[in-house]
Amino acid sequence: MLEILTTEQMYDADRKTIEAGTPGDVLMENAGTAVVDEITSRWSPRSATVLCGPGNNGGDGFVIARLLRNAGWSVRLGLLCDVDKLTGDAALNAKRWDGAVERLSPALLVGAELIVDCLFGAGLARVIDGEIADLVHTVNAGNVPLIAVDVPTGVDGNTGEIRGVAIKANLTVTFCRAKPGHYLLPGRVLCGELVIRDIGIADQTVRDIRPTLMRNDPACWRAGIHWPDLDGHKYHRGHLLAVGGATMTGATRLVARAARRVGAGLLTVVAEPAALPVYASDSPGIMTAPIANLDELLKDCRHNAVVIGPGFGIGDETRSRIIQLLHYCRCTVLDADALTSFSEQPSTLFFAIQGPTVLTPHEGEFARLFPDIEGDKLTRARAAAKRSGATVLIKGADTVIAAPDGRAAISVINAPWLATAGSGDVLSGIIGGLMAQGMDMFDAACMAVWLHARAGADIGPGLIAEDIPKHLPVLLGELWRSLPK
C-alpha cells in the first residue's frame, strides 16, 4: 500500500473496480464495515452520533450507523440535506437505515460520546462556510473521540489544505490507498491516527493507474542500495568532498560524521587552511585539504561526490565555488547557504546544474530560491525539480522529495525530535554519503530521509543532531538483515 493516490485517481480506481463487476454498494458496505471494525476495536459501545453529508461520504455514514447499531451501540444520525436528495449508493444505504434521520444541528451532539464525521470526503468541492462551518467548530470544541471517514471534513484530499474549516480527528479511516492530503500539513495533523483499509480494489487496478507518488518506504529504494562487495575496497565506496566553512565548522563536521557512518569510503573536508585543524581534530578518520585545491581535487574522478552549503557563508565566493564545482558534474548536494546564495539569481544555478544534484531547502530557503512557485508542498517540490533539473527535497514534518521526471515521495514517519539545530546538516551528509556510493540521486534522497526520520523516531526525546549519525549502523543493519539471502 505504498502508492498515494490523488482523489481523481481514487475515483478512477473505484470506477474501474465497479466496471470490473464489484457493485458500488459493495465497496460502500466494505468501507463502512472497515470503519466500524476500527471503531469497535478501540472503543466500547457508547452513544455515537454520525454526521452525514449529501454524497457518498454520507452514504458511508448510513452504513456505519446501521452496523454500529447492530453491534449494540446507541446511534443518532444527522443528515445535511433532505433524504430524498441522496442518490445512488448513498440513497440505497439511507433506505437500509431504519433509525431516525435528524437535521444536522448542534443538538445532535448533546450526549454524544463518539462522533463519526461523514460530511465530506473526496468530493469536497469548495470552501466550507455558514452553518456547516459553525457545526465543525462545535464538533472540534467537544472532548469526545472524533473519527473521520476517508478524510476529515474540510481537508483537501489532494493538498492537505483546509478549505475554510476542518474537523480535527483522533482517527481517520481511509480506503484502498492514502491521498496526499493525509500526509501533507496541516491535513496530516488533522487526521490524527491514519488507518488505510482494503475495500476490495485490486492492487493491479491501482498499478494500472500508474501512480508516481509514494509513501517513503524502504520498499521503494531498497534494491538501489549499493552494499559493499565482499572483495571491494574503500574507493569502491566513493570519496566525498565536504566543503566546509571557515568559521562555522560544526555544520560540516556533522555532514562528515553522517556521510562516513552511512558508508562513504573516504571523506575529505575541504576548507580554508586556518580551519582545517578544527576539522582534522574532530575525528581521526577524516582527511582535510585546502579549499584552494578544490579544482585540482575535482579533476580526480575518484572524488565523485560533493556536499556544500552547511556553514559555508552566503555571497559571491559561495556562488563562484558552486558554479565551478557543478562544472565537474559530480554527485552534488546543495544545502543551506549554497541555496540562499542564489536567491538573487536562481537561474544561474539551475543553468549550471548538469549532473546528479540534490537541493535540500527548508521552507525559508525554498521561498528564496523559488519565490514564484506556490501551492502545496508536493506541487511546489515537483515544479522546483522540473525547473532546476535537480532532485528537490523540501524539509519539515511532512518532508517531500521530488525528481525532475515527476516521481515523488512523502515522508510518513513522525519524528518531531528532529527539529533541532544541525539535524539538516546530518541529512545532507547522509545524502552525500549514499550518492558517493553510487546510489541514484532520488533514491539516495529518499533513503536519507527515511534513515533520518527513523533515527529521530527511535532516539526520541533528548535527541541532538550528533546522535543521528551514531544511530545509522542500527538502521543500516536492519536494512541489511532484511535482504533476501
Ligand X SMILES: NC(=O)C1=CN([C@@H]2O[C@H](COP(=O)(O)OP(=O)(O)OC[C@H]3O[C@@H](n4cnc5c(N)ncnc54)[C@H](OP(=O)(O)O)[C@@H]3O)[C@@H](O)[C@H]2O)[C@@H](O)CC1
Is the Cβ of residue 139 or residue 334 nearer to K ion in the bound state? 139
Is the Cβ of residue 146 or residue 271 nearer to K ion in the bound state? 146
The gap from C-alpha 132 to its chain's centroid, in whole angstroms, comes to 30
The gap from C-alpha 93 to its chain's centroid, in whole angstroms, comes to 35
Is the Cβ of residue 24 or residue 290 nearer to ligand X in the bound state? 24
Q: With CB cut-offs between 5 and 8 Å by kind, which of ligand X, ligand ADP, K ion, none does residue 416 bind?
A: ligand ADP
Q: Does 187 bind ligand ADP (CB under 6 A)?
A: no
Q: Does 423 bind ligand ADP (CB under 6 A)?
A: yes
Q: Does 419 bind ligand ADP (CB under 6 A)?
A: yes
Per DSSP (E only), the strands in 258-360 are: 266-271, 287-290, 305-308, 331-334, 357-359
Cα–Cα distance for residue pair 151/438, rounded to 1 Å: 40
Site for ligand X in 190-209 (CB under 6 A): 199
Q: What angle do CA 171, 61, 12 make, to 5 degrees?
A: 85
Beta bridge partners of 114: 48
Shortest gap between Cβ of 458 and ligand ADP (angstroms)?
13
Q: With CB cut-offs between 5 and 8 Å by kind, which of K ion, ligand X, ligand ADP, none does residue 423 bind?
A: ligand ADP
Shortest gap between Cβ of 124 and K ion (angstroms)?
8
Closest among 158, 181, 154 to 167, alpha carbons compared: 154
Cis peptide upstream of residue 186 (ω within 30 degrees of 0): yes
Shortest gap between Cβ of 38 and K ion (angstroms)?
14
Question: How far apart, in Å, are the Cα atoms of 214 and each of 80, 109, 159, 340, 362?
Answer: 35, 38, 15, 29, 21
Which of 40-48, 59-67, 373-381, 391-399 is the region at the interface with ligand ADP (rule: CB under 6 A)? 391-399
Question: How far apart, in Å, are the Cα atoms of 215 and each of 139, 159, 306, 481?
Answer: 30, 15, 28, 22
82 is in an annotated binding site: no
Is the Cβ of residue 165 or residue 276 nearer to ligand X in the bound state? 165
Q: Does 60 bind ligand X (CB under 6 A)?
A: yes
What 3-state DSSP class applies to 35? helix
Strands 408-410 and 213-215: parallel
Is the Cβ of residue 122 or residue 352 nearer to K ion in the bound state? 122
Which of 75-83, 109-117, 318-326, 422-430 is the region at the interface with ligand ADP (rule: CB under 6 A)? 422-430
Cα–Cα distance for residue pair 15/272, rounded to 1 Å: 62
Binding mask 129-168 for K ion (x = CB under 5 A): -------------------xx---x---------------
Residues that bind ligand ADP (CB under 6 A): 336, 362, 395-397, 399, 415-416, 418-419, 421-425, 427, 452
